[in-house]
Amino acid sequence: MPRPTLRWADLPGRRVGIYGLGVEGRASLAACRAIGVDPILVDDNADAAPDLDASVLATGDGGLDALRACEVVVKSPGISRYGDAVRALHAAGATIVGGLGLWLAGADLTRVLVITGTKGKSTTTAIAGHLLSRWGYRTLVGGNIGRPPYEPAVGDEYDYWVVEVSSYQATDLPVSPPVTAVTSLNPDHLPWHADDVETYYRDKLSATSQPGARITVANGDSPLLRAHAAMLGPEVEWVHADDEPDARWMDGLGLIGAHNRRNALIARRALSAMGVREANDEAATATAATGFAGLPHRLQIVGRRGDVAFVDDNLSTNVLPAVAAVDAFPDRRVALLVGGQSRGIDYAPLGVELRNRAVPVLLVTMPTNGREIHAQVDAAGPGAAVTIIDADSLADAVRLAADWAGPDGVVLLSPAAPSFDLFHDYRARGAAFVHAMRAIGGTPS
């Protein structure tokens, strides 16, 4: 079904509601007020935003009825388009949009780069933004990373916008920029996407194929992406981790692993496709790459105990990034910590991927779905190089892993599961990892 092509500038004079008051909902409220629109505010929890100088209706306590009376509902990404509430709003005739989609519909798309993917999109977005900024362009890095580009406080005095787009946000985009990028494809977030993996793939890749799309720079090492190439933009430029084998320009980025090499190549190729002339200059790109700080909780070395390195990759929430993280240490013993909130992901591929590893791996499973992961990996026959043990907690897992990894191995937190079962978020899980490392004599970096 065609998506409504509305801009923020089209909202004055309409009855508008905002559904969901997280980061993007608050940005939508600010954007509405900046154009003279006083929206109805609804959240599943009426007490979700006590600091706002406006009343908030609970969805189940009159809020949904209030939204039904709206012409336009600006929905926060976390609210599924396939849920009962959104279906009810559609049935009532409301037009459902997202803040990012409203912004894109009114933006100069030749100066916007949209980057999506199951994993790797944040790093690729950060690299592209870093290069542009180092080349002297005024650049906003936003969307799913950073701040929403439509938030009035961020302004509009930029030469380029590099926007990370999640699968949730992608369903709200009525247009695509001429150049988009996809870093990976793997099952994820299935409950939001009607518990259907093909719906997730369609939604995720729709960011690359809306009106205006021209070229998609995509991960050519992904069999799933190649199988779904028809869902990408009209032209596809495939990028492989072993492209440009002699290139050294990305050394200054300081990133670990072949997958991050590919992410860097995708970022540069996308900027080149946009017509950024410096992206075709090896020396200019090498100079710009220096000083990249990387992103926290993504293959971040957080400390050591002797020669054992402790690596926080806890933004890994499925099998694909966990495998890539292990592969980033091809010659070292790796104790891989996995487990967290269960989302019905198939973990058998983790065993299949690990079985071909020549260097030993210790798979340490953690609550709450660790035993589930253990059973699925074990059934897949992980091979003689892989040992699996179950830990009772993250702290227990760190202790077991560090004792095994000596004298010079890696303790790798790449849990292949979200953190929300036992932690407030991934930051809290990362802090707990560092705390557990310190408790056994590790020294933070």
143-200 pLDDT, tens digit each? 998 899 999 999 999 999 999 999 999 999 999 999 999 999 988 888 889 989 999 9
Beta strands at 40-43 and 16-19: parallel, antiparallel or unpaired? parallel
Q: For residues 415 and 345, is the Cβ–Cβ distance under 8 A?
A: no
pLDDT of 191: 85
Positions of the chain with pLDDT lower than 50, given as ranges: none
Domain 8-97, CATH number (from 2.60.40.10, 3.30.360.10, 2.60.120.560, 3.40.50.720):
3.40.50.720
- State the span(s) of the chain assigned CATH 3.40.1190.10: 102-289
Residue range(s) of every CATH 3.90.190.20 domain in the chain? 300-444
How far apart, in whole angstroms, are the C-alpha atoms of residue 300 and residue 395? 18
Handedness of CA 205, 208, 212, 213 (dihedral sign): negative
The fold of 300-444 is Protein-Tyrosine Phosphatase; Chain A (3.90.190)
- pLDDT reported for residue 46: 79
CA dist., res. 417 & res. 171, Å (int): 23
Alpha helices by DSSP H, listed for 48-187, are: 64-68, 84-91, 99-106, 121-134, 167-170
**Alpha-carbon gap, residue 432 to 176, rounded angstroms:** 40
Asked if residues 336 and 364 have their Cβ atoms less than 8 Å apart, the reply is yes
**Stretch(es) of the chain classified as CATH 3.40.50.720:** 8-97
State residue 295's pLDDT score. 85
Question: Going along 326-418, which residue ranges are E strands?
Answer: 334-338, 361-365, 386-390, 410-413
pTM for the full model? Answer: 0.88
Runs of H (alpha helix) within 162-316: 167-170, 197-205, 223-227, 258-273, 282-289
| pLDDT value of position 1 | 58
Pair type for strands 308-312 and 300-305? antiparallel
Q: What is the pLDDT of residue 204?
A: 97
CATH architecture, domain 102-289: 3-Layer(aba) Sandwich (3.40)
Q: How far apart are CA 64 and CA 84, in angstroms?
A: 11
**Is residue 375 within 8 Å of 402, Cβ to Cβ?**
no
